[in-house]
Amino acid sequence: MHVAVVGAGIIGCAVAHELAARGVRVDVFDRRGVARGASWASAGVLAPWIEAHHRGPLLEMCVDSLSMWDSYVERLRTDGAPAFEYGRPGTLDAALTDDSAARLNDAAAELSASGVRADWIEGAAARALEPCLSPDIVGALRIEGHGFVEMPGVVEAISVAGRMRGAVFHQPADVTKIEAAPGGRVRLRIDDATLTFDHVVIAGGAWANRLKPGTPGVKPIKGQLVRLSFDLPPASHVLWSDVCYMVPWRDGTLLVGATMEDVGFDERTTASGVHELLAAAVRLVPAAADATFVDVRAGLRPAPVDESIPFVGPAPTLANVTVATGHFRNGVMLAPWTAARVAALVL
């Protein structure tokens, strides 16, 4: 079987690697390159009980995918992927107001009752656990098992593992048209060439609708993220709050995210976005005011227009086409789950 994957973000790369590992001939096409879209500006947070805290299908998907991440990392390493940072230190969701404290206290009780390792910690104890936290915090919800993976390094690693399994990456390569071909095959228009495949997977993120596969629509929501640098890691947990989240790396890098901007396909980094993130960072971790500013990144998350779960399934109007998009803020979280689901559908 010969499969084309359109899109080389974390979803497209994970799908390509999974298919290639199962013996499929895979070609990947992206008009910019590996991890140059939403994956470029992702903090790589793996925190389903925060990101998808409301019970329902999305939380179930995210929890299932989190359970796959340890073995997934080992598979990538076995397949020759270069090193990337991955950790499961847990999260601290800090409350800066009494209302937030009440909400997080209730969440701690609910999560504990459902078997999640979570507990509410009063302010002084939370600051003893993470001395970098502001003296203004009321307390924090600690959730064990949450973590992060280095972005965009893991996407590059997945693409290398895919290549080691035989996948071929074409970049830049702009897919502009998709249509049915004789014999149940699928034809792609790629720049000035026309190629035919047994199956096509559309994993184009916010740009998936360009090929009009007939699936529920997605719209771009811009997220900006800033990188700061400290001499030593400022925290041991992934930090969260109502104003921002922070991911500390072992080299002292601190990722601060993220804005939520409904501005169409505008990928510019802006002064207002940087100002918002830096102000939030200093409010949660005062020492961020003296950190070295490294850079700012922006990416467009694919948000389902109906605000539902991601669409991972057959294209309604084209045979032998599978679509995987609409992951919004959970693309990294859901990469192993999506790759396995798409491979099962394709095969």
Distance CA 329, CA 283 (A): 23
Q: Looking at residue 284, what is its pLDDT?
A: 98
**Is the peptide bond prior to 152 cis by the omega test (within 30 degrees of 0)?**
yes
Provide the residue ranges of all domains of the chain, joining segments of one domain with +. 2-90+145-346
- Nearest C-alpha neighbor of 217 from the set 234, 233, 204, 227: 204
Distance CA 41, CA 332 (A): 11
- Nearest C-alpha neighbor of 8 from the set 161, 199, 202, 164: 202
pLDDT tens, the chain, 347 aa long: 999 999 999 999 999 999 999 999 999 999 999 999 999 999 999 999 997 666 789 999 999 999 999 999 999 999 999 999 999 999 999 999 999 999 999 999 999 999 999 999 999 999 999 999 999 999 999 999 999 999 999 999 999 999 999 999 998 999 999 999 999 999 999 998 999 999 999 999 998 888 877 667 899 999 999 999 999 999 999 999 999 999 999 999 999 999 999 999 999 999 999 999 999 999 999 999 999 999 999 999 999 988 678 999 999 889 999 999 999 999 999 999 999 999 999 99
- What's the token pair of residue 331? 């693309």
User: Computed from CA positions of residues 298, 303, 333, 281, in that sequence, does the dihedral angle turn out positive or negative?
Assistant: positive
Q: Looking at residue 274, what is its pLDDT?
A: 98
Q: What is the DSSP letter of 316?
A: T
Distance CA 86, CA 89 (A): 10
pTM for the full predicted model: 0.95
Residue with tokens 């057959």: 314
- Nearest C-alpha neighbor of 213 from the set 4, 1, 2: 4
Distance CA 103, CA 87 (A): 27
CA 22 to chain CA centroid, Å, is 24
pLDDT tens, position by position, 225-270: 999 999 999 999 999 999 999 999 999 999 999 999 999 999 999 9
**74: Cβ contacts below 8 Å, ≥ 6 apart:** none
What is the chain's Cα-based Rg?
Answer: 20
Distance CA 236, CA 50 (A): 18
- What's the token pair of residue 107? 């969440």
The β-bridge relationship of strands 193-197 and 185-190 is antiparallel
Stretch (H or E) spanning 238: strand 238-240
Q: Looking at residue 209, what is its pLDDT?
A: 80
At the top level of CATH, which class does the domain 2-90+145-346 belong to? alpha beta
Q: Where are the beta strands (DSSP E) in 53-184?
A: 86-87, 91-95, 118-122, 139-143, 147-149, 168-170, 175-181
- Nearest C-alpha neighbor of 203 from the set 194, 193, 213: 213
- Nearest C-alpha neighbor of 253 from the set 298, 293, 297: 293
Query: What phi and psi values does residue 139 have, to the nearest 5 degrees?
Result: 170, -170
